Amino acid sequence: ADDRGEGSANDKQAVLAHGTWLAFLYDQWQVCRDSCGRDLQRLMMWTMQRALYDPRSLSRMPLAVTPTFSLLSLALQVLVDETQMICTAHQIRASTVRGSSKSLPPAAAAELAQCGLLRDKVLAAAMWWFAGLPSWTRLEAREAEAAASTLERFAMLVTAADAAELDYLPAPATAPDRRSRAAEGKWCTAEGEVAEQPLKLARERQLLGVLCRHEAARLRLWAEPLAFNQREIARIKKMKQKMKANV
């Protein structure tokens, strides 16, 4: 897609089609988690893995904010459910997952490693979107509000306690996303630093939470500058002060 607002970047029908597809997937996930067997639950996990096979292939055009972060939010929810189901099926406690992967049953370790790979792809896709924010926003007020709400929902999910448990998932044997970013000097993880992985992932999640909330506020200001009241402005100033304090 074109980030400059040319060509297919303004195709609202294409974005609408993605929204319909995501709504269908969300409905299927709700059914799977409540009443279906493991086969359909694994199918949903596989669908998320395929959808995020290449995180950098996701569009970064302004109109794609809502479907992109709706997909990432759904992937996080599916991932949390799948991790809990794997632990329940293999009778694994959370403290065991937090320990060495060598203490896990081989079958459980393999399944959890796939969850770890999807976790990495979700975070990579979100970071990739923020790596090249569009310099303009041609959205109607309704579209901007929907995008802001979607960003805030992802921020809530990615910083929640359930997402924090995903930091301890064992890393897969091959992690193409991390290796490629390490080769480019954009990923500060080296082999053998497994013990530091949860801390680095926690920082990445917190950063994404800040970025999403800041972008949501920017979109609301863009859509309705006169309605952007003093409370929202004060919240942004407080957020910036917090960011400076954490540097």
Check if the beta carbon of residue 92 is closer than 8 Å to that of residue 86. Answer: yes
Give the Cβ contact number of residue 201 at 10 Å. 21
Q: What is the pLDDT of residues 48-63, one digit of tens each?
A: 999 999 988 887 777 8
Q: What is the pLDDT of residues 2-55, one digit of tens each?
A: 344 444 545 667 777 788 888 888 888 887 777 666 778 888 889 999 999 998
Torsional sign, CA 95, 96, 98, 100: positive
What is the spatial distance between Cα 188 and Cα 170, in angstroms, rounded to a whole number?
18
Exposed, middle or buried: residue 134 (CB in 10 Å: 0-12, 13-18, 19+)? Answer: middle
What is the spatial distance between Cα 153 and Cα 233, in angstroms, rounded to a whole number?
20
Q: What is the pLDDT of residues 124-183, one digit of tens each?
A: 999 999 887 766 667 788 888 889 999 999 999 999 988 888 887 876 655 444 444 433
User: Which pLDDT value is given to residue 114?
Assistant: 87
Through-space distance between the first and last CA atoms of the chain, rounded to whole angstroms: 34
What is the spatial distance between Cα 233 and Cα 32, in angstroms, rounded to a whole number?
41
